[in-house]
Structure formats: C-alpha cells, structure tokens
Amino acid sequence: MSFLLACPHCGLRDVNEFASAGEVTERPRTSPSVHELSSYVYFRRNTAGVQREWWYHRFGCEAWFLAERDTRTNEVLTTELPRPQPRQGSAAPQEAAAPDVPEV
Ligand SMILES: [Zn+2]
C-alpha cells in the first residue's frame, strides 16, 4: 500500500512516514455496561467506503490528526487536526462529542 497523505503541518508525504491508529471511535459514557465496553474495545465498523481515521506523523512532526479515507481506493479526502478537548463540565454537548486522541 503506497499513497500520499497530507499532514496538516507538513503537507503531502509518503504514507510510510505515518502510522495509522484505525477508525475513530467514541468512548462510552462514564459507567458503561459490559456490552458497551467490550464493543468499544473489540469491535470496529470496518467500513468499505469513506471512514474517519486517526493518523500519526511518526517520521515528521509527530502530530496526531484525523483523515477521511476511502478504504476501497485509499483516496484521502480530508485531513485535519483534532479540535481541543473541552474541560469537563464546561463543554457544549456537540463539543464534548469530539473523539479522544489515541495513546501511543
Ligand atoms: Zn507532519
């Protein structure tokens, strides 16, 4: 698999400079059920089409960013930096829905 990916900081680069962290998932609520927690940990949608993913520019600026990629063609439609996470209790509901940055 070889294609170009646009880092929000560095621009177009070979995909081998990046690490993929998979599709964006939403963290379950504060006290999830066993089913919600196991779904969050083990199951992915595995979309055949456009999916939102986490990427890390490991051999560049080391930034985490989001990309929309068509999994059938590897065409990357957009890349963007994640929005900052609001502090707990001070966020509007739509801002609180921003995905978590995965750990390395
Ligand atoms: Zn970069």
40-83 pLDDT tens trace: 999 999 999 999 999 999 999 999 999 999 999 999 999 999 98
DSSP output for 31-85: S--HHHHHHHHH-----SSEEEEEEE-TTTT--EEEEEEETTT--EEEEEPPPPP
Q: Are 44 and 52 in contact (CB under 8 A)?
A: no
Distance 67 CA to ligand 1 centre (A): 13
How far apart CA 98 and CA 54 sit, in angstroms, is 13
Distance 84 CA to ligand 1 centre (A): 18
Specify the CATH number of the domain 1-27+44-84.
3.30.2270.10
Which tokens in the block code for residue 44? 């992915």
How far apart CA 56 and CA 95 sit, in angstroms, is 22
Distance 56 CA to ligand 1 centre (A): 8
Distance 61 CA to ligand 1 centre (A): 4
For the chain, domain boundaries: 1-27+44-84
Q: With CA atoms as reference, report the closest residue to 7 among 53, 63, 48.
A: 63
Distance 15 CA to ligand 1 centre (A): 11
Instruction: Read off the pTM.
Output: 0.75
Q: What percent of the chain has pLDDT over 90?
A: 68
